């Protein structure tokens, strides 16, 4: 018997308009499933009980990915504004100090500045600095 590697379980948040169907059943009922999705329902397709894909209405998909081509002029303007905000004496001093550090000093500074609040879901290692 072939053992399948255990993947982390990913749960798709349930909403009033979400249902689940196995990949083998969706093959036989694709027309019905598409009708439900077109009516606004989300359908989670599972394989061996684990979610593999989610069918969503086209309008919802368009909202998720955004409409049309990105506004390159707006993106360039935003990028330039961010770069301009970083052009301060404090930033310049910090970058100069950063590049002057050895690998060991850089590692120690990173470990010292690490705080559990900043690391989402991270737990401090035993013996790690606070």
CATH number at residue 55: 3.40.1620.10
| H/E stretch holding 52 | strand 50-55
CB atoms within 10 A of CB 83: 9
pTM above 0.75, yes or no: no
Same domain? 25 vs 54:
yes
Structure tokens at 26: 């969706």
Residues 61 and 76 in one domain: no
Neighbours of 74 (CB within 10 A): 9
Q: What local confidence, expressed as pLDDT, does residue 18 receive? A: 87
Domain interval for residue 106: 72-113
Q: Is residue 91 part of a domain?
A: yes
User: Roughly how many angstroms between the first and final C-alpha of the chain, as a whole number?
Assistant: 47
Number of domains into which the chain is organized: 2
For the chain of 130 residues, list the mean pLDDT of each consecutive stretch of 10: 55 70 93 94 93 92 78 91 90 90 91 68 52
- Distance between CA 17 and CA 39 in Å, rounded? 10
pLDDT at 125: 53
């Amino acid at each position: 018997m072939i053992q399948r590697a255990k993947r982390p379980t990913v749960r798709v948040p349930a909403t009033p308009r979400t249902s689940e169907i196995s990949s083998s059943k969706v093959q036989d009922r694709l027309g019905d499933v598409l009708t439900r999705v077109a009516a606004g329902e989300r359908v989670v397709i599972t394989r061996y009980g684990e979610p593999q894909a989610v069918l969503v209405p086209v309008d919802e998909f368009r909202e998720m990915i955004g409409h049309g081509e990105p506004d390159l002029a707006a993106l360039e303007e935003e990028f330039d504004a961010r770069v301009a905000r970083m052009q301060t004496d404090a930033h310049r001093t910090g970058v100069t100090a950063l590049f002057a550090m050895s690998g060991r000093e850089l590692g120690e500074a990173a470990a010292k500045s690490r705080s559990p609040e900043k690391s989402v879901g991270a737990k401090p290692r035993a013996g790690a600095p606070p």
